[in-house]
Amino acid sequence: MQRHEVGGSAAIQFRLRLVGGGLLAVHLLLVAWATLRPLDVPWAASANLTPFAGIRADLAYGPLEAARRIGSSLILLAPIGVLLPLVGGRLSASPLAAWSSLARTVAAGALVSVSIGMLQTAVPGRVVDVDSVLLNAVGVALAHLAVVPALRARLRRSRKRVAARRGPATPARARSQGPTPRVTRVRIGPWTEVLSAIHREY
């Protein structure tokens, strides 16, 4: 029973990693297609290397346009915050491990954003914006905090319910041995009594 339960957990983790890896690859391909396509524009703004300058410029367009611009940057890499931990396939994590997972996921999202910005320098119509890196990292962190802890808690509860229905695990060796064999007492035959009497006489 215990071995079967461990094997079932390993199979679930493998399927989670497989699904997460496939979805992550598809998402990165879509991000590359959306951010690295050349743009046919009459002019392009200069690169922004000053933090929050691009956000202030977006806010100057008004609430709706600012929400669209900032929201698109937040959403662009947000799925990484969920898919990257899913590739890890860990069903449970201590509080310290959870914060470490968050830090690694946000760092990975920021690294992807920086890589996109560096590649955009060679794409016509694209410019580097440091605020995009900041917003992308914030989007990854928000998606991670909103989904991953709840998903892990749900998976842990599901695993506990399955283990409770199966009952306590009993080692297979203990079940297969059966009752302990008993040694039958050997009765002393008549010829043994005769030999003992002769030995006592002499």
Beta pairing partners, 129: 48
Q: How big is the CA angle at 107 (ends 102 and 109), to the nearest 5 degrees?
A: 95
| Cβ 105 vs Cβ 85: under 8 Å | yes
pLDDT at 5: 43
- How far apart are alpha carbons 144 and 141 in whole angstroms? 5
Is the whole-model pTM more than 0.85?
no
- How far apart are alpha carbons 103 and 74 in whole angstroms? 17
Quickly count: other Cβ atoms within 10 Å of residue 191's Cβ. Answer: 8
- How far apart are alpha carbons 82 and 149 in whole angstroms? 10
Q: Quickly state the pLDDT bin for 1 (edges 50, 70, 90).
A: very low
Asked whether the predicted pLDDT for residue 51 surpasses 70, the reply is: yes
At 88-145, the pLDDT tens digits run 766 566 778 888 889 999 999 999 999 999 999 999 889 899 999 999 999 999 999 9
